[in-house]
Amino acid sequence: MSLLRRGRFLFWAVRELAKKYTRSLVIGIILGFGIMFALWKIFPLIRSSELSATRRIGYVGEYSPSNLPLEIQKQMSFGLTNIAKNGAAIKGLATAWESTDSGKLYTFHLDPLVTWHTGKPVVASDINYNINNVTFQALDDHTLQVKLPNPFSVFTVLVSKPIFSKNLTGFGQYKVSTLRLKGGTITFLRLVAAGTTPLPTLEYRFYRSEDQAMLAYKLGEIDELADISSIDPTLEKWRNTRIQKTYNKNRIITLYFNMKDPLMKDKQIRQMLAYSIPDLGFTHAYSPIAPTSWAYTDEVKHYDPDMKQAKALFTAAKMGTSSAEITITTFSQYLGVAQEMVKSWQSLGLKVNIRTANTINEPYQILLSAQDIPTDPDQYVYWHSTQGATNISGIANAKIDKLLEDGRIEQNTDTRTKLYVDFQKRLVEELPVVFLYYPTVYSMMRSSGQ
């Protein structure tokens, strides 16, 4: 009975309190449900925020909004096409395309689901790469026709360049949140997820030199730094720093011979110099085309170190009895490599000088420098005899010229492959250059607070 009395007392007490404070209780219940609903809505955003960490990345170089590194551009947008690992054009904004009129007319069919970061659908009339003598015409919202003055089989690779409207507005997975400029140069760029999918925020900081970028890493301004040519050895001892060493196979360190020089135009002398280059300790390059390319071949002549062959060529050239001197020109970052080659050449009995240059346009006899590898195997600008400004070796070979001319207009990939395989073999055999190695690059990343 005692328990029953207590129950009755509690019931009447609650009833009286409810009568007295009805308004407050109703307001409290409504507020309680409101708070629960708000938390239910906000929790996913909080969770997304927790998952979306910030990556602070350093880049070396001075960039404006119009010439940002391609890796950054691709975060914000993409082109009519994308590029596969083997260098072939694959679908991008265009899901399909046809080439007619012997390669002078392209028709691109655009993905109707793609929208700008503003939410506006991307339509064919938005697209114009502003290429000289090339006409872009929208046939309808999702069909774009492009007319070229001449066949150009590299065109589908050319239009892989990411597309932007005003203020770096694109249609990629990221959009611009903050952009800071000093003059016309970007100093800071923050990118955030353009859609609802949680993505880490990307913060890019730009530095004029590798030394400045390295100092910024040490001071904690950035947590990632990629594609630098050397690292501070003390960083290897930092527990929370991961350092990765790779090879940049989109660039080749190359030894150029001036084919117009009285000595260097002698192929026997070029072969002698090539065979006497020592093992430089890097990943050797044998062709001007990237080894990942669909057109690459390793079936080219290899000028591996062979001092016996080099000495025979030296004797045949009678350079030991000549007063001729050889000068190799290079840049400060390759000076150590140049010195190794000079030692080997001097061991043959050659008289060799080293000269340090500031620009690639300075006159030279032998030049040690770097060459970037284009995405497409078309290398007309580097090796065709008409390209005086960019054909820095000065090679003029009618057979090589013809292969380069045919390769850039041929539409069939199998036929293009045969043309570029032949081109690689003939160029390496002619020896206007020695392709030495792919440069070593380093990346570092802080795994947690240092």
> Residue written as tokens 């001097």?
346
pLDDT score for 236: 87
In the chain the first and final C-alpha atoms are separated, in Å, by 70
158 pLDDT more than 90: yes
Rounded Cα distance between 146 and 131, Å, is 11
Rounded mean pLDDT, 396-402: 98
Burial of residue 182 (number of CB atoms within 10 Å: 0-12, 13-18, 19+) = exposed
pTM here? 0.83
Domain with CATH 3.10.105.10 in the chain: 251-439
Task: Please say whether the beta carbons of 274 and 301 come within 8 A.
Answer: no
As a CATH number, domain 251-439 is 3.10.105.10
- φ/ψ of 199, rounded to 5, equals -135, 150
Instruction: Give CATH 3.90.76.10 domain extents, the chain.
Output: 78-168
SS3 of the chain: helix, strand, coil, percent, to 5: 35, 25, 40
Cα→Cα distances 349→220, 323, 449, Å = 52, 11, 56
Query: Is residue 356 pLDDT above 70, yes or no?
Result: yes
- 9 has a pLDDT exceeding 90: no
Identify the CATH homologous superfamily for domain 78-168.
Answer: Dipeptide-binding Protein; Domain 1 (3.90.76.10)
Residues 176 and 117: their CA atoms lie apart, in Å, by 9
Average pLDDT, integer, range 54-65 = 96
Cα angle: 431, vertex 435, 440; to 5 degrees = 170
Cα–Cα distance measured from residue 260 to residue 264, given in angstroms and rounded to the nearest whole number: 7
Q: Is pLDDT above 60 for 66? A: yes
Dihedral sign, CA of 302, 305, 309, 315? positive
Query: Residue 183 pLDDT > 50, yes or no?
Result: yes
Q: Helices 335-348 and 307-317 meet at what angle, rounded to 10? A: 60
Measured over the CA atoms of residue 307, residue 308, residue 309 and residue 314, the dihedral's sign is positive
